[in-house]
Amino acid sequence: MSNGSGVSRGDRNRNARLARLRAAVPTSNAIVGIDLADVKQMVVVCDHDSKVLARRTFRCKAWDLGPALDWAAGHAARQGFTGVTLACEPTGHRWRILGQLATDRGMSFVCVQPTMSAWARKSEDLTFDKTDDKDAVLIARMTAQLRCYLPEPADETWGRLRHLGNRRDELLEIHGASVHRLRDLLECVWPAALATASYPFRSSTWVAALAVITGRDGGDLDRTRRLGAARFERMVRAEVTRRGRTRPCLRIVRNLFTALSDPAGVLTHRPGAFERIAWVLGDWDRARTQQVDVEAQMTAVLDDLELTDLVTTIPGLSPVGAAAILAHTGDLRRFTSARAVVKHAGLAPRERMSGTFTGKARLSGAGRPELRTAA
């Protein structure tokens, strides 16, 4: 799509983005590139031609960089600049601390993508050197070229949703790891148990029965078998009720009781393996309980943002799913278009065209992997 001047919509969006960046990196400002680390911070003050005006190493934590920013501002003023623009890579949590210090002092703050820095470093020096001194100058140079971006502004509610979303991702990882660990252990010491249900790890009855076997008898299958089928069924029924379900699947209970007599498995490892299985089941149960609590808090944040009524009108999208997506996008109003959100997730198709050649379009994959998973 284009207008009479031949400027496309993509050109207009790019021009608007460059205008926003130029407002944050005006030519009247010196550029302060900072290579952040734990206790060693490299600070350089540069002009827009990447000429280094001052350089200094500060051995302090990120929260103690206030004097370093004042030192950089003083050098910039003596060189005739009216202000400074701070730039760093958004690695770890320290860039948020630097952004807070910059806000407190009324300084502009931008970030440079580490991927962009890595590419620029390779083209900068064929020796592929990587030092704090060179990285700080490289960050300042890329900022002068407007190869940077404005970080998401801090907001208490959106920040809380981001942390809740990250916690949910951690719990989902525990969930997946627990399933794989249980499968590996059972395949080694009691493979017959895995054949007692079509999808054992999705069955509340199967999980409850495994909890009974490991909790009461410590994985001593002979001792569990001596209970008898009727008593074993009653114990599983009680465990299923305790886990919030109404009644067990008796077919799975009977299959598991029959499997107690199966001799297949590495018998010498059974005591230790079943002890580990009990621990993994405990981790899995705690993760699922915490996940329910975290997801309830995430939907409550949607209520605070007054977005619950909106997401419920989207077919196939639950409040929890919407909260998980928004936790990784932040406020959608900061994006200029829906395509920008898709690119942020790495789901935009990557075009391959040159002259008369047209290649196969594939997803770029350059974005937030957590957002792709949530979407």
Amino acid letter for position 56: R
Q: Residue 361: what pLDDT? A: 72
Of the chain, the percentage scoring pLDDT greater than 90 comes to 61
Structure confidence at residue 2 (pLDDT): 46
The answer, yes or no, to whether residue 257 has pLDDT greater than 90, is yes
pLDDT at 3 > cutoff 60: no
Q: For residue range 49-101, what is the model confidence (pLDDT) as tens digits?
A: 989 999 999 999 999 999 999 999 999 999 999 999 999 999 888 999 999 99
Q: Give the model confidence (pLDDT) of 107-147 as tens digits.
A: 999 999 988 888 888 877 666 778 888 899 999 999 999 99
The SS3 of residue 220 is: coil
What single-letter amino acid sits at 144? A
Cα angle: 230, vertex 235, 241; to 5 degrees:
125
Which runs of consecutive H residues, i.e. helices, occur in the chain? 9-24, 66-78, 94-104, 114-124, 132-144, 156-189, 204-217, 221-225, 229-242, 250-259, 270-304, 308-311, 319-329, 338-345, 369-374
pLDDT above 70 covers what percent of the chain?
98
Q: How far apart are the first and last CA of the chain?
A: 28
Between residues 152 and 101, the one the model is more confident about: 101
